[in-house]
């Protein structure tokens, strides 16, 4: 496991360099969801694949940028699912982006996740790793220095509602509005990593990416985005559920690129989600 975290650190430093140096043009390819890939997406994917492929304990890797998982060592134990550069469309406006990693055993189902991590490329590079607890590190010179353990309070102040408002279901609109009526403040950049990082670091709040009437299963992918963050929120003392009130970590992976409606927050806000979605 330590060697996987070390590979994530090495990848993070190389990706940061690529963000600073790579031209922001499109590659001649689309990812498996049909989205056009930036050269930077392709470059970040290649960097992570290169670093993870050196590790004998990894059996399979699966990238958000590739249609299928790749077996790298038949006798390996771990499966790593990753989104190399989440929110990459924000790079050209110089907003923060991130890389997300889920470390699984046996299969990519939520229950088999045993650790997860993400990197935020912002004004500084930070790494958050969740094993038994959730720890935050900052890149200084060439090393990731421990900053703090992340623990959520029972109730936060931030509201990060994703997806196109025009397509929200009425009960979702009511949920979002009720939090604003309680004094919650809007914090949404369009990058899952910085948006969830803000909620984690400020002690709580709600990030929602619901099913909508044009995309009932939402947008965010289970294996690469949703399960890793669900694990982090639970370990930090929060909760992560779908629109049926089921823990995200109880969901199966299904198709490797399957999505799900998802809600991440502290206990109070997740209770609110349950309340507003109860009769949906």
Among 42, 70, 72, 68, which residue's Cα sits nearest to residue 57? 72
CB of 196 to ligand AHG, least distance (A): 8
Which one, 84 or 204, has the nearer CB to ligand AHG?
A: 84
CB of 26 to ligand AHG, least distance (A): 13
CB of 47 to ligand AHG, least distance (A): 17
Q: Which chain residues interact with ligand AHG by CB under 6 A? A: 35, 86-89, 162-163, 190-192, 219
CB of 146 to ligand AHG, least distance (A): 26
Q: Which two tokens stand for residue 182?
A: 């309680």
Rounded Cα distance, 206 and 210, in Å: 12
Rounded Cα distance, 8 and 161, in Å: 29
Rounded Cα distance, 47 and 29, in Å: 17
Q: Which two tokens stand for residue 267?
A: 């206990």
Which one, 53 or 164, has the nearer CB to ligand AHG?
A: 164
Q: Which two tokens stand for residue 120?
A: 């935020």
CB of 88 to ligand AHG, least distance (A): 5
Which one, 102 or 162, has the nearer CB to ligand AHG?
A: 162
Which one, 191 or 204, has the nearer CB to ligand AHG?
A: 191
Q: How far is CA 225 from the centre of its chain?
A: 4
Nearest-CB residue for ligand AHG: 192
Which one, 149 or 177, has the nearer CB to ligand AHG?
A: 177
Rounded Cα distance, 17 and 242, in Å: 36
Q: Which two tokens stand for residue 162?
A: 């994703």
Which one, 192 or 251, has the nearer CB to ligand AHG?
A: 192
Q: How many CB atoms lie within 10 A of CB 27?
A: 15
CB of 71 to ligand AHG, least distance (A): 26
Q: Write a three-state SS string for 189-241.
A: CCCHHHHHHHHHHCCCEEEEECCCCCCCCCCCEHHHHHHHHHHHHHHCCCEEE
Q: Which two tokens stand for residue 117?
A: 């991590």
Rounded Cα distance, 227 and 250, in Å: 9
CB of 219 to ligand AHG, least distance (A): 6
Give the chain's largest Cα–Cα span.
54
Which one, 78 or 208, has the nearer CB to ligand AHG?
A: 208
């Amino acid at each position: 496991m330590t060697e996987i975290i070390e590979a994530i650190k090495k990848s993070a430093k190389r990706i940061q360099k690529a963000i600073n140096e790579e031209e922001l043009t499109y590659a001649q390819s689309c990812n498996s969801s049909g989205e056009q890939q930036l050269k930077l997406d392709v470059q970040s994917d290649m960097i992570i694949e290169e670093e993870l492929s050196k590790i004998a304990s990894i059996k399979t890797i699966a990238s958000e940028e590739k249609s299928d998982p790749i077996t790298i060592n038949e006798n390996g134990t771990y499966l790593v699912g990753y989104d190399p550069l989440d929110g990459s469309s924000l790079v050209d406006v110089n907003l923060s982006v991130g890389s997300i990693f889920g470390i699984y055993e046996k299969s990519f189902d939520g229950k088999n996740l045993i650790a997860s991590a993400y990197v935020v490329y912002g004004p500084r590079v930070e790494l958050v790793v969740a094993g038994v607890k959730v720890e935050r590190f900052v890149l200084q010179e060439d090393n990731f220095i421990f900053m703090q353990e992340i623990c959520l309070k029972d109730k936060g102040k931030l509201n990060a509602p994703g997806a196109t408002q025009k397509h929200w279901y009425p009960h979702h609109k009511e949920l979002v509005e009720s939090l604003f009526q309680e004094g919650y403040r809007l914090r949404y950049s369009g990058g899952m990593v910085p948006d969830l990082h803000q909620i984690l670091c400020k002690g709580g709040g709600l990030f929602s990416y619901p099913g909508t009437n044009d995309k009932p299963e939402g947008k965010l992918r289970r294996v690469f985005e949703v399960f890793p963050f669900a694990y982090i929120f639970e370990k930090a003392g929060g909760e992560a559920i779908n629109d049926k009130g089921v823990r995200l970590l109880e969901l199966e992976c299904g198709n490797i690129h399957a999505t799900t409606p998802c809600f991440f927050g502290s206990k109070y806000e997740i209770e609110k989600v349950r309340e507003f979605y109860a009769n949906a």
